[in-house]
Amino acid sequence: MLQKTHSAAGLVAAELVIVYHGGSFWSWEAAGALLLGCLAGPLADVDKQGSTMAKLLFPVSALLRLLNVRHRTMTHSIVFILTLMVLSLPLSPLYHAVFIAAYLSHPLIDLFNEQGVHLFWPLKARVRLLPKFLAVDTGSTSETVFRWMLLAVGIWLPVSAIGFPRLF
Ligand SMILES: [Zn+2]
């Protein structure tokens, strides 16, 4: 999936956390949470040379290359996410939940990809949710449709949380 699709998924994940926490969308904390979601969504692709995250976090991507960590392996695995859960504990409860949910959205939607994900890294098995002919290829029309669906949910969630009667 493309970075912008992962950002859209990260945004939806952040919004779901805010709704679940019963929080308001009209606060600086919520704005920070949404931004965090957009950034944490594409974060796992720091393992992909040339990606925006690899460029932004150059030392991390250089280290991953040095360790010969391949794309959609370690950074997309359950073991790594559990490690991140512990490492990000110093964050506030809302930001911690948003960070993990948005990061988790990444391998989750990559599961719809044709290549699948090494979800159980260091085991070698690749996991893919859809048969090849239904899989969403990176940059394909189906990915664009998928991204628009995510954005629609991303608009609908805060609007429904705020409530139409209060908007008009
Ligand atoms: Zn990925």
pLDDT digits (tens), the chain, 168 positions: 899 999 999 999 999 999 998 888 989 999 999 999 999 999 999 999 999 999 999 999 999 999 999 999 999 999 999 999 999 999 999 999 999 999 999 999 999 998 889 999 999 889 999 888 888 888 899 999 999 999 999 999 998 887 655 544
pLDDT computed for residue 131 by the predictor: 86
Question: Is the Cβ–Cβ distance between 62 and 34 less than 8 Å?
Answer: no
Using alpha carbons, select from 65, 64, 58, 59 the residue that is nearest to residue 80. Answer: 64
* Domain total of the chain: 1
The residue type found at 124 is K
Summary count for the chain: helices (H), strands (E): 8, 0
40 CA → ligand 1 middle, Å: 12
pLDDT at 112: 93
- Residue 117, phi then psi, degrees to nearest 5: -135, 145
| Structural domain boundaries enclosing 101 | 3-167
Give the number of other CB atoms < 10 A from CB of residue 28. Answer: 7
Q: How far apart are CA 103 and CA 58, in angstroms?
A: 19
Measured in whole angstroms, the distance separating CA 143 from the mean position of its chain's CA atoms is 15
Joined tokens for residue 90 = 């110093």
Q: How far is the CA of 106 from the centre of ligand 1 (A)?
A: 6
Compute how many other C-beta atoms are within 10 angstroms of the C-beta atom of residue 132. Answer: 8
Q: CA-to-CA distance for 125 and 157, rounded, in angstroms?
A: 35
d(CA 32, CA 29): 5
What pLDDT is recorded for position 95?
97
**What does the pLDDT read at residue 166?**
53
Q: Find the 104 Cα to ligand 1 centroid distance in Å.
A: 11
161 CA distance to ligand 1 middle (Å): 30
| Tokens found for residue 80 | 């790594």
Q: Ligand 1 mean position to 103 CA, how many Å? A: 10
- 48 with 54: CB under 8 angstroms? yes
The pLDDT, as a whole number, for residue 137 is 87
Confidence at residue 68, expressed as pLDDT on a 0 to 100 scale: 93
Identify residue 11 by its one-letter amino acid code. Answer: L
